[in-house]
Structure 1
Amino acid sequence: MNKFVSIRRDLHQIPELGFQEFKTQQYLLDYIATLPQERLEVRTWRTGIFVKVHGVRPTKMIAYRADMDGLPIEEETDVPFRSRHEGKMHACGHDFHMSIALGVLTHFAHHPIRDDLLFIFQPAEEGPGGALPMLHSDTMKEWMPDMIVALHIAPEYPVGTIATKEGLLFANTSELFIDLKGKGGHAAFPHLANDMVVAACALVMQLQSIVSRNVDPLDSAVITIGKLTSGTVQNVIAEHARLEGTIRTLSVASMEKVKERIEAIVRGIEAAYQCEATIDYGSMYHQVYNDEALTAEFMSFAEQLPDIRVIRCKEAMTGEDFGYMLAEIPGFMFWLGVDSPHGLHHAKLTPDERAIDKAIALLTSYIAWKGNN
């Protein structure tokens, strides 16, 4: 079996949530320790890792980022290397991302190029967000790269396909939590209570008017309430309700507008239903905006390779905290085709492992070309 496929399977069995990637970090460190150390410099940051590969005559530094964490999903595949951690799964492909990064690192540990390279193994991409604090870490300030690259697996594309575009690739995202507190009571006397089930239902319906009536029709936005909890038993009027959801927009201005309207509507709910409301936006991720010149150059480079098909895709409403890094460092992200019948964050996600070698070959050839020119 290919070494990096084997590594991916090892990592797949030990998924860990954000900032809890202790086994994952140790596994990566143990592997990195087997590589030639002459030009390597390794530093840890919380549960993440920085690996610098010193170039022979550096004029710049090129960074490659791979995220590390899994998701709180019970795996439903029948593969022999399924997750050993109950209720957790690498359902977003971060096991692929890490094994590919190790493959590229291995190549350059044995075959250094002119320029310095920085490999960033980043925790907590799924939440609460590791990119921004890692970006502001002392190590990153000292080793600030001149450009940065990352990939994300794409179940909908066949193996051998990469997809990306200049400019906006992923949306601005924000979590949304709204708590409503009213007055409970007996179900037979609703006039003596303030029912938060009714208030929450009204709020959900009003929130749906924001996209249709407050966002420019030529822009795009999404407000999804994925979870609503309220009440304790069938004959008690609920005094509390909680809405949990997500906001996605294709512009920073639209995100600000959407939040402004959410807050106005919630104030109206407070007045109409005589309740108190609190809003928490939780984790917020900056849009992934690809540097136009570097992305076009990369796409042109990849198109020359015989076994790679390049697609100029549309922007997506997915979120990625890599956007914070791209906001300060020129670079890009691209989709890597892995041809799975089940999509990202699905309990039956089964990416095609042949994509690992394809990605390693593509990235080593591109980084070597970029780092020697």
Structure 2
Amino acid sequence: MKDITETTLLKIRQDLHQIPELALNEFQTIKYIRQFVAQLPQEYLVTKDIPNLPTGWLVKVIGKNPTQTLGYRTDLDGLAVTEKTNLAFKSKNIGIMHACGHDMHMTVALGILDHFAKHQPNDNLIFIFQPAEENFAGGMQLYDSNVLVGDWKIDAIYGLHINPSLPAGTIGCRQGTLFAGTTEIHLKLVGKSGHAAFPQDANDMIVALSQWVNLLQTIVARNVDPIIGGVVTIGAIEAGSANNVIAGEASAHGTIRALKQSTILAIQDRVKTITDGIAQAFDCQAQLILQQDGYLPVENNDKLTTEFIKYMKGQAKIDFVETNPAMTGEDFGYLLSKIPGVMFWLGVDSPYSLHSEYLAPSSNALNTGVNAITKFLEYKMA
């Protein structure tokens, strides 16, 4: 049986790109995936539903003489971004786009699965079709649902993310942390509204929030080792209703990012301390939520990463680069905190960044990615 063709890979990618769906609503997407898998040879395949994640799915390829079970994960969801590319196959779902390249991720996964459904591997392979990477920590939800136990337990897991800044088809990876861990910041301050002419009778939350934002910018500058680094960004604030009304409420939303979980926890503590201080100094109520969920740092396993890099460097047909860590977040970090594994980049040669409404990954990366990863997994199971 012949492996999947570049033409078929291109069609899959274009089909999936047109039907992006938000986290936990990937019903069209998983239906497409199920239909594709259904037309593959079924002799070695076993599937498993995930009751509490109806848009998630597991597909197991049974090995000839299994001594281990390897996992390969792809994410499914799109983003609430209105696509502005000129692609002939642009999104048909208004206001939603595969702006993080998950259409590419899924296509590569299906290409690899196509191969092993037709050529039985030596060991077991479990393909994880995971919803809700962008929101709601789908990786954590999937793992915590206890579906990866017993015969579905995974010994080592792999997954990729596209990289617009690398040439199409290039594989990138590094030892240690590939992506940062993240924490969402949500704050609401409650004081007392009033007339702009009588500030003594009100409690201005715009002033309080302004001080809070400024103080947060001292955390990384004065509390974090500059060699280690971190990010605290407030991306949205809401307060006030008119030019002559003192705002009695104000809210803010932002993010913490760092390459080490210990740094994230230290920054969280400083945010809490500063928030408590603002509440006391301005005699107001402060409602603070720090939400990390499953977005832990993506920390690659040392031994498996050494093996992965050595293999990729040794292949004449594979362009491999060792990359720097990135402050982007990924819930694959939660899976790596439970299962040893490796996340790596697949270059897609785009002038626009991840999450851009103009992101248009090069489909030339698909066949190269499928071949490189398929051959690596065969090497792992030799």
| Shared fold (TM-score, shorter chain, > 0.5) | yes
**Letter of the structure 1 residue corresponding to residue 254 of structure 2:** G
CA displacement 1:22-52 (0-9 Å, x = unmatched): 1111111111111111111112222111000
Which stretch of the first structure deviates more once superposed, 42-51 or 99-108?
42-51
> Within 5 Å, which residues of 2 pair with 1:214-293?
214-284=223-293, 285-293=295-303
2:309 aligned with 1:304, yes or no?
Answer: no
The counterpart of 1:210, out of the listed 194, 211, 219, is: 219
2:135 aligned with 1:130, yes or no?
Answer: no
Tell me what 1:36 maps to: 41
Q: Is the 8 A contact 1:170 1:316 kept in 2?
A: yes
How far apart are 1:345 and its partner, in Å? 0.5
How far apart are 1:282 and its partner, in Å? 2.7
CA displacement 1:257-286 (0-9 Å, x = unmatched): 111111111111111212101111234411
**Letter of the structure 1 residue corresponding to residue 28 of structure 2:** K
Tell me what 1:334 maps to: 344
2:60 aligned with 1:52, yes or no?
Answer: yes
Q: Is the 8 A contact 1:129 1:283 kept in 2?
A: no
Tell me what 2:14 maps to: 9
How far apart are 1:307 and its partner, in Å? 2.6
**Letter of the structure 1 residue corresponding to residue 111 of structure 2:** G
Query: Any gaps of 5 or more consecutive residues in structure 2?
Result: 1-5
How far apart are 1:163 and its partner, in Å? 1.2
- Using the alignment, how far apart are the partners of 1:86 and 1:237 within structure 2? 38
Poorly superposed stretches of 4+, deviation over 2 Å: 136-139, 304-307
Q: Is the 8 A contact 1:338 1:353 kept in 2?
A: yes
**Letter of the structure 2 residue corresponding to residue 65 of structure 1:** R
2:6 aligned with 1:18, yes or no?
Answer: no
- Using the alignment, how far apart are the partners of 2:350 and 2:49 within structure 1? 33
> Within 5 Å, which residues of 2 pair with 1:53-202?
53-142=61-150, 143-202=152-211
How far apart are 1:70 and its partner, in Å? 0.5
CA displacement 1:64-119 (0-9 Å, x = unmatched): 00000001111111111111111111000000000100000000000011100000
Tell me what 1:370 maps to: 380
- Using the alignment, how far apart are the partners of 1:330 and 1:252 within structure 2? 17
**Letter of the structure 1 residue corresponding to residue 49 of structure 2:** T
- Using the alignment, how far apart are the partners of 2:146 and 2:326 within structure 1? 32
- Using the alignment, how far apart are the partners of 2:292 and 2:261 within structure 1? 15
CA displacement 1:333-367 (0-9 Å, x = unmatched): 11111000101000000100000101000011111
**Letter of the structure 1 residue corresponding to residue 262 of structure 2:** A
How far apart are 1:197 and its partner, in Å? 1.0
> What secondary structure sits across from 2:373 in the alignment?
helix
Query: Any gaps of 5 or more consecutive residues in structure 1?
Result: none
Tell me what 2:324 maps to: 314
Tell me what 2:32 maps to: 27
How far apart are 1:219 and its partner, in Å? 1.5
How far apart are 1:304 and its partner, in Å? 2.4
> What secondary structure sits across from 1:64 in the alignment?
strand
> What secondary structure sits across from 2:167 in the alignment?
coil
- Using the alignment, how far apart are the partners of 1:266 and 1:298 within structure 2? 44
- Using the alignment, how far apart are the partners of 2:132 and 2:196 within structure 1? 44
Q: Is the 8 A contact 2:77 2:98 kept in 1?
A: yes
Q: Number of aligned residue pairs: give it.
A: 372
2:363 aligned with 1:353, yes or no?
Answer: yes
> What secondary structure sits across from 1:140 in the alignment?
coil
How far apart are 1:305 and its partner, in Å? 2.2
Which stretch of the first structure deviates more once superposed, 5-14 or 131-140?
131-140
How far apart are 1:159 and its partner, in Å? 1.3
> What secondary structure sits across from 1:318 in the alignment?
strand
Tell me what 2:3 maps to: none
- Using the alignment, how far apart are the partners of 1:30 and 1:124 within structure 2? 21
**Letter of the structure 2 residue corresponding to residue 116 of structure 1:** N
CA displacement 1:137-188 (0-9 Å, x = unmatched): 2321231111110000000000131111111111121111111111011122
Which stretch of the first structure deviates more once superposed, 228-237 or 115-124?
228-237
Q: CA RMSD in A?
A: 1.1
Q: Is the 8 A contact 1:180 1:241 kept in 2?
A: yes
- Using the alignment, how far apart are the partners of 2:265 and 2:333 within structure 1? 17
Task: Compute the TM-score of the two structures, normalised by the length of structure 2.
Answer: 0.95
Task: Compute the TM-score of the two structures, normalised by the length of structure 1.
Answer: 0.97
How far apart are 1:136 and its partner, in Å? 2.2
How far apart are 1:5 and its partner, in Å? 1.3
Q: Is the 8 A contact 1:160 1:307 kept in 2?
A: no
Q: Is the 8 A contact 2:169 2:366 kept in 1?
A: no
- Using the alignment, how far apart are the partners of 1:5 and 1:291 within structure 2? 32
